[in-house]
Amino acid sequence: MEIKITKDSNNLDAVLSINIQLADFEEEANKNLQKSKHKLNLPGFRPGMIPKDVAKKYLWDSIIRQELEKLLETKIEDYIKSNDLKIIRPLLPIMTDVDIDFKTETNFEFNYHLGLIDEFSYDPTAILKGHKLYSVKINQKDVDEEIELIRSTSGKHTHPDQIENTENISVSLIFSELNSNNEILEGGIKQKVFKKMSELPDSLREVLTGMKPKEDLNIKIKELIPETNILAELLNIEKLTVEDLSNDFSINIQSIHKEEPAELNEELFDKATQGKAKNFEEFKEEIENMMVTMYDRQANTILSDEIMKTMLEKIEMKMPQKFLDLLFEEEIAEKKKDFNAEELKNQRSEFERKIKWTLIIQDYSKKNNIEVTEQEIIEEAYMFISATFYQYGLPQMDQDKMSDYLNNYLQKQENVLYIKERLQVKKMFEAIKSGTSFEKKEVTLDKFKKLMSQPQ
């Protein structure tokens, strides 16, 4: 048996070749044949009494394949570990046009494209210097607004017969540009708008008040809303195009919605705090605690995103581009036709970025002895599946069904690897945050929401 690596000039793109002789595994193959022939049923032979040469005629191909697969996997992994190779997985087999004749051949050669990674080093404390861990200062106004939001989402939603000019009324409207004959202009503006009455200009609220669902109203829109920026925002168009609009528009009342906030009572306190509050003072205190917990979690998410972004930008790593091209082609093969050249370029760049991030996670985990147990994978998978069901509004499964779903999910190796990486990332961020002095900065809730809305 012989294993060797042939590297390209960049020392990163390579081909791994492995040559195996039948003698390397023939003994194991014969043992397997001896076991398997007892299960073979052939006319004219009693079960278990089929001669070895006869059984070999029927079974040898599959046995050789099985033994070769086992030996290849074992020897390649041993070679990678013993030579301490940093590689991008998976290895890509190099296919040939010549089929192997397992009945007659005794020498087998296999070749794989291999992507190697050079050693890379970094100091998290140094490259992450200057990042901030935010904390949100919650004031009484923030708590009051959150309580009103809870009342609104927990209250009743009705559809009144006509529009009222009140805070709790929302309307769904269609604005259509008209021609000189007061007919809908072909190719003109047609915009659906859903807003609270309080969000609309005063002049528009006035003419809408009293109208009913499905009614139409013709207006002189530039006279009704003379402010260019307000009109452009309402119709979702550029300000420069407002002057080209027709002055004649129709408004169709699609629907009317009324929010009736829930009463501030024990039922709401119990429901909103999962039984922790029994009166209004306890309710306010618990809502504030919930807000602090939620925004602390989001602040940690912001920091985690910044850590990932900075590590990807500042950690220098040479990548095997030819290998990545092959790996990318294999991954995107079925979807390639759906992308144009620019989109493919962006997809390729994002693909390399994900590979680099995975290598950073693996490297950090190895150097800092971050391990993930089987039990942790099961628990994380359970939480991930439960959160996914909740996100899509699916009912919670009973324990037996959930166990079945969890077992089926973890049967797939790619799911196990995904959950394992999630845990490695969590533990990596925890280790980095505990070992790095980030500047702590307190901000108002309004300021924090602006930070959350910024693109990462």
* DSSP code of residue 379: H
Count of CA atoms in the C-beta half-sphere (13 A) of 323: 26
Is the residue at 233 inside a domain? yes
> Does 347 share its domain with 203?
no
> Does 52 share its domain with 68?
yes
User: Of 260, 292, 318, which residue is a domain's last?
Assistant: 260
Is the residue at 269 inside a domain? no
Bridge partner list, 422: none
pLDDT band per the 50, 70, 90 thresholds, residue 454: confident
> Does 360 share its domain with 211?
no
Query: Do you find a cis peptide bond into 261, omega within 30 degrees of 0?
Result: no
Q: Write down the pLDDT at residue 44.
A: 80
How large is the average pLDDT for residues 116-139? 92
Q: Write down the pLDDT at residue 370.
A: 95
> Does 166 share its domain with 111?
no
Residues 6+ apart with CB under 8 A from 279: 266, 269
pLDDT for residue 393 is more than 80: no
Residue 158 is encoded by which pair of tokens?
């009705």
How large is the average pLDDT for residues 115-128? 92
| Percentage, residues of the chain above pLDDT 90 | 73
Domain count, the chain: 3
How large is the average pLDDT for residues 417-443? 92
Is the residue at 59 inside a domain? yes
- Scanning the structure block, which residue is given the tokens 């659906």? 192
User: Of 231, 260, 289, which residue is a domain's last?
Assistant: 260
> Does 42 share its domain with 132?
no
Count of CA atoms in the C-beta half-sphere (13 A) of 382: 14
pLDDT band per the 50, 70, 90 thresholds, residue 451: confident
Bridge partner list, 184: 178
- Distance CA(173)–CA(191), nearest Å, equals 8
Residues 6+ apart with CB under 8 A from 423: 372, 376, 377, 380
Is the residue at 367 inside a domain? yes
- Residues 55/37, Cβ–Cβ less than 8 Å: yes
Bridge partner list, 127: none
> Does 301 share its domain with 382?
yes
Residues 6+ apart with CB under 8 A from 188: 176, 177, 178, 179, 246
Q: What is the pTM of this model?
A: 0.74
Average pLDDT, the chain: 92
> Does 314 share its domain with 405?
yes
Residues 6+ apart with CB under 8 A from 343: none
> Does 207 share its domain with 254?
yes
Q: Write down the pLDDT at residue 16.
A: 97
pLDDT tens profile 195-238: 999 999 999 999 999 999 999 999 999 999 999 999 999 999 99
Q: Write down the pLDDT at residue 426.
A: 94
- Residues 221/227, Cβ–Cβ less than 8 Å: no
pLDDT for residue 456 is more than 60: no
Is the residue at 75 inside a domain? yes
Q: For 6, phi and psi rounded to 5 degrees?
A: -110, 115
Strands laid side by side in the 107-116 sheet: 2-7, 13-21, 107-116, 87-93
- Distance CA(89)–CA(149), nearest Å, equals 48
pLDDT band per the 50, 70, 90 thresholds, residue 181: very high
How large is the average pLDDT for residues 284-303? 94
CA dihedral 6, 11, 12, 14 (to 10 degrees): -10
pLDDT for residue 392 is more than 90: no
* CATH classification at residue 190: 3.10.50.30
pLDDT for residue 411 is more than 90: yes
pLDDT tens profile 145-170: 999 989 988 889 899 999 999 988 99
- Distance CA(286)–CA(306), nearest Å, equals 30
Could you tell me which of 208, 235, 232 has the C-alpha nearest to residue 219? Answer: 208
400-420 per-residue burial string, b: 16 or more CB within 10 A, e: under 16: eeeeeebeebbeeeebbeebb
Could you tell me which of 431, 419, 432 has the C-alpha nearest to residue 376? Answer: 419
- Distance CA(266)–CA(163), nearest Å, equals 32
Q: Where does residue 414 fall: left (phi above 0), alpha (psi -120 to 50 degrees), or beta otherwise?
A: alpha
> Domain range holding 239?
156-260
Q: Write down the pLDDT at residue 396.
A: 65
> Does 93 share its domain with 185?
no
> Does 289 share its domain with 428?
yes
Bridge partner list, 16: 5, 112
Residue 248 is encoded by which pair of tokens?
């004649």
Q: Which region among 96-100, 300-304, 316-320, 418-422 has the lowest average model confidence (pLDDT)? A: 96-100
Residue 173 is encoded by which pair of tokens?
């409207």
Q: Write down the pLDDT at residue 394.
A: 65
Residue 223 is encoded by which pair of tokens?
């006279």
- Distance CA(225)–CA(229), nearest Å, equals 10
Start-to-end CA distance of the chain, whole Å, equals 51
- Distance CA(429)–CA(121), nearest Å, equals 18
- Residues 364/370, Cβ–Cβ less than 8 Å: yes
Helix then strand then coil, in percent of the chain rounded to 5, is 55, 20, 30
pLDDT tens profile 78-111: 999 999 999 999 999 999 888 888 778 899 999 9
Bridge partner list, 133: 440
* CATH classification at residue 96: 3.30.70.1050
> Does 77 share its domain with 166?
no
How large is the average pLDDT for residues 380-407? 82
Q: Write down the pLDDT at residue 455.
A: 66
* CATH classification at residue 323: 1.10.3120.10
DSSP H or E run through 152: helix 140-154
Q: Write down the pLDDT at residue 207.
A: 96
Residue 296 is encoded by which pair of tokens?
């602390």
> Does 200 share its domain with 292?
no
- Scanning the structure block, which residue is given the tokens 């390649």? 76
Is the residue at 151 inside a domain? no
pLDDT tens profile 45-59: 877 788 888 888 888
- Distance CA(363)–CA(411), nearest Å, equals 26
